[in-house]
Amino acid sequence: AQSVTQPDIHITVSEGASLELRCNYSYGATPYLFWYVQSPGQGLQLLLKYFSGDTLVQGIKGFEAEFKRSQSSFNLRKPSVHWSDAAEYFCAVGTGKLIFGQGTTLQVKP
């Protein structure tokens, strides 16, 4: 079955600290992978996507993610978190119809 697992429901980091959000997927074919961010009352904004090629992809707002086929993972990273990064983060997989994880809520401490 196709699925996405985000093991961390809630993460708190201090402003300026590094961040890694985990994502594991189960998908029958070569996956298209995405990370989206959602602020309260807003829709989803695309941070980055992986289709093929270089397994380290760069996105907006200083985010990057690394595709590891052997681990079925697509973890999101940022070297230095800003207070404005506090939001809900969703990992998704699919071509067309997307399958989303449950999301990780990021809280940033001043």
Partner 1 sequence: GAGVSQSPRYKVAKRGQDVALRCDPISGHVSLFWYQQALGQGPEFLTYFQNEAQLDKSGLPSDRFFAERPEGSVSTLKIQRTQQEDSAVYLCASSLDTGHQPQHFGDGTRLSIL
Which residues contribute to the site for partner 1 (CB under 8 A)?
4, 32, 34, 36, 41-46, 49, 51, 90, 92, 95-103
CA atoms within 13 A on the CB side of 42: 11
Q: Name the nearest CA neighbour of 27 among 72, 66, 65.
A: 72
Min CB(25)–partner 1 separation in Å: 13
Q: Distance between CA atoms of 82 and 22, rounded to whole angstroms?
A: 19
* Residue closer to partner 1 (CB basis): 18 or 30: 30
Closest to partner 1 by CB, 42 vs 80, is: 42
Shortest gap between Cβ of 40 and partner 1 (angstroms)?
11
Which phi and psi angles does 60 have, rounded to 5°? -85, 165
CB of 9 to partner 1, least distance (A): 9
Query: Which CB, 15 or 22, lies closer to partner 1?
Result: 22
- What Å distances lie between residue 60 and 4, 13, 35, CA to CA? 22, 20, 11
